[in-house]
A and B are shown apart, each in its own frame.
Chain A
């Protein structure tokens, strides 16, 4: 019988995308089904047969990763305009960027 656990994340604090990105990092050790409930994002985790880590440790690591992903998504969203501006500016003279019609 494979070890399983369920992790719950508050939808008010975390996005589905953040939880999914965090879960993806663990696919070498477990499979994760991410679903959305009324107020929570649900992660159903099932450890791979070959996984040598405990279910508690994996749960702890996923929770920490979700926090990091939430910070990352804050950076991404706050810097989107400037990121596009910098890249467009950087490639403006290379001939590689699309010129406006």
Chain B
């Protein structure tokens, strides 16, 4: 018999621990991911989770300290875990009390492009009946300034919003005039294909500190195939526009978004290379959404979730390779998720919020005065589904819009903490409700999650990110940087 006793022999007599609320999901035959109410996460051996729930976990277990530190268990004498968890939960939902921040003004439905995947039905360039009028803009601004949010962002969309630049100028000037009294943190963004941009427009953007967000689908041949316009020069115009906008506004005032079409699938490296060559520090690898022209032209059905996930994972591998070679470059969707996984911040990305971000995070004022719960909601309306049209700026009050039965029903019935499968999903803190997607695909705000492509795509990405993070320390360090970019 040994003269020496084990460490446990010297441990004080501890009472049995109590569990704190958490969910778990099996990652594979060996590992489980567990998350608590605040979204704090641990990857544990399967046996540890079983022992934890059965109250047989030993204080000597390597996971015991982490489980106690991250509030998965507490001793009856511990007082602070409840207060700390409450504080962290409050931080996680802090954005809710600010209410609507993003206000989208569709200043024109006209567009000179005819992209088959376009998510809004566009009209030919010369039909001014599809432009927003000053009366509608004034009434929409009344509603913007009713938001209690200290930060107000106005984003101009289309169609191509630059085709009605006079209305952009009007809204910016009127909003700034109102803000002399309201004193909010006002910001402006123009989402544009940059084809009609002029130096005069850019001077106005500089004067009013307006950000530019443009579309860039990859190399010239792919971009021009995805985004046809008269002259077949969409890419050339976008590149010239990016260069000009950067010269006038500054490099960090111009961002770009890509959309994945069937033609993009074999070319993820080419797409990323173009973003690198142009000096962007990140790329957002985005799938097509089941709305608007993407459905009408069958672009959305051209590839399935598995094929898109292959594309996404190859892209992520390539981006990690670039980072390992010493170039800082991020993938934006992964960054959003990692921010939620690894920090206490919630970036508030509308697809990944609960309650859903419709209306209470972002709202849309259409060119004709229609008010929509989200950009996707107005895309549905262009297809004839007006379910999420919340009112009209000319006839509806703020209360009519934000207390409408349709909006409240969509928010309540998609609330993930009470949705079948979401409510006990370990990935719930990182995911979102997205009632509009489920309404569009299943005619049901809640959605049957076992059959939901939204659920399947996001679950696959969450698990993939966890796998990558645990596979090597360099990747984990890169992901930490992405999560703490802001």
Contacts and interface: CB of A to CB of B under 8 A. Distances in A.
Interface of A: 21, 24-28, 68-69, 71-72, 74-76, 78-79, 82-83, 85-87, 89-91, 93-96
B18 interface: yes
B86 interface: yes
Interface in B16-39: 18-24, 26, 37
B96 interface: yes
B448 interface: yes
B135 to A, nearest CB: 34
B93 A24 contact: no
B338 interface: no
Contacts of B85: 86
B446 to A, nearest CB: 12
B424 A83 contact: no
B20 A71 contact: no
B448 A86 contact: no
Closest 5 CB pairs of A and B: A89-B86, A90-B89, A79-B21, A90-B90, A28-B450
B83 A83 contact: no
Contacts of B19: 75, 78-79
A21 to B, nearest CB: 7
Given A75-B53, A86-B82, A24 B420 contact: yes
A28 B96 CA distance: 34
B442 to A, nearest CB: 12
Given A25-B421, A72-B24, A83-B37, A90 B450 contact: no
B87 interface: yes
Contacts, number: 73
Does more than half of chain A's interface fall in helix, strand or loop, or is it mixed? helix
Interface in B46-97: 49-50, 53, 82-83, 85-87, 89-90, 93, 96-97
B277 interface: no
B451 interface: yes
Given A24-B421, A28-B451, A75-B53, 13 more contacts: A25-B421, A71-B24, A72-B424, A74-B53, A75-B23, A79-B19, A83-B37, A86-B86, A90-B89, A90-B90, A91-B93, A94-B96, A94-B97
A28 B305 CA distance: 15
A13 to B, nearest CB: 13
A69 B93 CA distance: 27
Given A24-B421, A28-B451, A90-B86, A68 B26 contact: yes
A29 B240 CA distance: 50
Interface string B84-114: 0111011001001100000000000000000
B89 A86 contact: yes
A27 B448 contact: yes
B49 A71 contact: yes
Contacts of A74: 53
Contact of A90 (B18, B22, B87, B424): B87
A27 B86 contact: no
Contacts of B421: 24-25
19 contacts: A27-B451, A71-B24, A71-B50, A75-B22, A76-B21, A82-B82, A83-B37, A85-B86, A86-B21, A86-B89, A87-B37, A89-B82, A90-B86, A90-B87, A90-B90, A91-B93, A94-B90, A94-B97, A96-B97
Interface residues of B, number: 28
Contacts of B26: 68
Interface string B174-194: 000000000000000000000
Nearest to A67: B50
Contacts of B420: 21, 24
Contacts of B37: 83, 86-87
Contacts of A96: 96-97
A27 B450 contact: yes
B93 A90 contact: yes
B11 to A, nearest CB: 24
Interface string B5-18: 00000000000001
A57 to B, nearest CB: 14
Contact of B21 (A26, A75, A94): A75
Given A24-B450, A86-B82, A94-B97, A79 B20 contact: yes
B321 to A, nearest CB: 34
Task: Find the residue from B22, B86, B97 having the highest chain A CB count within 10 A.
Answer: B86
A69 B420 CA distance: 12
Interface string B440-455: 0000000010110000
Nearest to B92: A90
Given A86-B21, A96-B96, A26 B89 contact: no
Contacts of A25: 421, 450
B90 A95 contact: no
Task: Find the residue from B23, B90, B421 having the highest chain A CB count within 10 A.
Answer: B90
Contacts of A83: 21, 37
Task: Find the residue from A24, A27, A79, A86 having the highest chain B CB count within 10 A.
Answer: A86
Contacts of A72: 23-24, 424
Task: Find the residue from B18, B20, B21, B97 having the highest chain A CB count within 10 A.
Answer: B21
Contacts of A91: 90, 93
A68 to B, nearest CB: 7
Nearest to A83: B21
A69 B22 CA distance: 13
B420 to A, nearest CB: 6
